[in-house]
Amino acid sequence: MNGSFQDRIAKERKFEESLSEAIDEALTQLGEPIKNALYLQLEDRLNIQRSEIPHHVKEFSDFLSTTFGLGAARFEIKCMQKLHSKINVRIQMTEDNYSIDKWVDDGLTFEYYINRARENYCNPR
């Protein structure tokens, strides 16, 4: 196998692991019982296991919106901040982009941010 292909696969796995950890850490801030209940609901309603969330970002985001309403954006921002601290990639976002007002006004989405972070982490320029 080509070394760069193996590197790409390793980076993808590391990204997915970091994203899962970031989501888990953000959910833990809600309390263990709530975190566990949310993971159970995600599995029951959408058949998405905790480990599969990095492959179902849009569905996870939709689940959060259904569960938390407008509060989902705050949770998603917390996940993005935690992910950013783990992978530390440059994304064309400033701290202002982490405010709810900016989030809504600019039409930023959790899925967009995660896709950009994945691309920048796995394919640095």
The C-alpha atoms of residue 123 and residue 9 are separated, in whole angstroms, by: 11
Q: Say which range, 3-7, 44-48, 80-84, has the weakest mean pLDDT.
A: 3-7
Q: Residue 35: pLDDT above 60?
A: yes
Average pLDDT over residues 69-83: 91
Pair 117, 87: CB distance under 8 Å = yes
Domain ranges of the chain: 3-122
CATH 1.10.1200.200 correct for 3-122: yes
Mean pLDDT rounded to a whole number for the chain: 86
Average pLDDT over residues 96-103: 49
pTM of this structure: 0.83
- Residue 102 makes CB contacts below 8 A (sequence gap 6+) with 96, 108
